[in-house]
Amino acid sequence: MIAHALAALVAAFPIKPPTPPAGVSEVDVVERLNEPVPGDLRFVDAFENHVRLDEFLGRDKPVVLSLVYFDCPMLCSLVEKGLVKGLSESGLALGKDYTALTVSMNPKDTPRQAAGAQAGYVAHLANRQAATARDWAFLTGAEKDVHALAGALGFKYRWDASTQQFEHPAVVFVLTPDGRISRYLYGVEFLARDLRLAVVEASQGRVGTTLDRVLLKCFRYDPVSRRYRVVAVNFVRGGAFCVFLALATGLAILWRQELKRRKSSDPQGRLAP
């Protein structure tokens, strides 16, 4: 009798699996700005060399990092193609201004697949003339190392058994030369301006032109729109500085021209200044 009563109670109030707290998702990005990525993680490159992550860090250049998997039916290729397009239009040169790194989140992916992806994407990248294969490496690795890297980046993904696919965010990461997370860029289309500013920002001024550094004072990354936006006050200050610089340059040119005119009309130096 008691057993029947318990069975009826369970049927009336079925036990549900626990749900994540509000704001927490299995597929998400938790930004960890300025945090380091672990350099001792081990992977295999497209040439079947066993490598450590820190071999691709500390080279005095920012690193543009993406997490994908090579048999992804759609999203990963959109991210990589968008990244190639944005980098090509940024005016930055692979191997000179930045390096790139693509890591597979699927532990079953092979170096052969990595080599095919590397050849396909890098071939469409502009400004790569001085680059080597290591300047944009494609890596595979064991599940524990992939999970450790994803965890350090705040990149939350999951395997969906029903679709036999990974569910994951669309995001790329820009690292400082010493391997700290400098910026997250979201989506499948990356503005050339945003990529350029993110790389210049991560380099702490070692990459880019004087104009880039001035622009960084006028633009700030907006976490809401996930784009670099004009900071009005800084933009006005920057504009005022440019006007002042132009006036000062113009006056200096006029002053030098006047000196030359006086010297040519008075070669003996008899005229008063």
Tokens of 97: 């201004």
Confidence check: pLDDT of 5 > 90: no
pLDDT classification of 45: cutoffs 50, 70, 90: very high
Q: Residue 214: what pLDDT? A: 62
SS3 of residue 217 by DSSP: helix
| Closest listed residue to residue 83, CA positions, set 171, 157, 155, 183 | 171
| Closest listed residue to residue 80, CA positions, set 28, 40, 36, 124 | 124
Tokens of 137: 């490496």
From CA 28, how far away is CA 31, in angstroms rounded? 10
CATH architecture of 28-209: 3-Layer(aba) Sandwich (3.40)
From CA 204, how far away is CA 174, in angstroms rounded? 12
Structure pTM? 0.73
pLDDT classification of 260: cutoffs 50, 70, 90: low
User: What is the pLDDT of the chain when averaged over all its residues?
Assistant: 81
User: Is the model more confident about 80 or about 232?
Assistant: 80
Confidence check: pLDDT of 251 > 50: yes
Compute the average pLDDT of residues 80-96: 96
pLDDT tens, position by position, 143-193: 999 999 999 999 999 999 999 999 999 999 999 999 999 999 999 999 999
- The ranges assigned to domains in the chain are 28-209
Tokens of 167: 């569910």
Compute the average pLDDT of residues 244-264: 59
**Of 5-19, 98-112, 206-220, minimum mean pLDDT range:** 5-19
User: Is the model more confident about 12 or about 197?
Assistant: 197
From CA 141, how far away is CA 143, in angstroms rounded? 7
- ∠ CA 164-16-19, nearest 5°, is 70
Q: E strands, 45-94, where?
A: 50-52, 63-68
Tell me the H-state helices in 162-204: 192-203
User: Is the model more confident about 226 or about 67?
Assistant: 67
Q: E strands, 26-139, where?
A: 28-29, 42-44, 50-52, 63-68, 99-104, 136-139
Compute the average pLDDT of residues 44-66: 96
pLDDT tens, position by position, 62-82: 999 999 999 999 999 999 999
With pLDDT > 90 as the criterion, what percentage of the chain qualifies? 60
- ∠ CA 203-205-207, nearest 5°, is 65
Tokens of 181: 């997370």
Q: Residue 102: what pLDDT? A: 98
SS3 of residue 182 by DSSP: strand
| Closest listed residue to residue 41, CA positions, set 146, 173, 135 | 146
Q: Residue 259: what pLDDT? A: 62
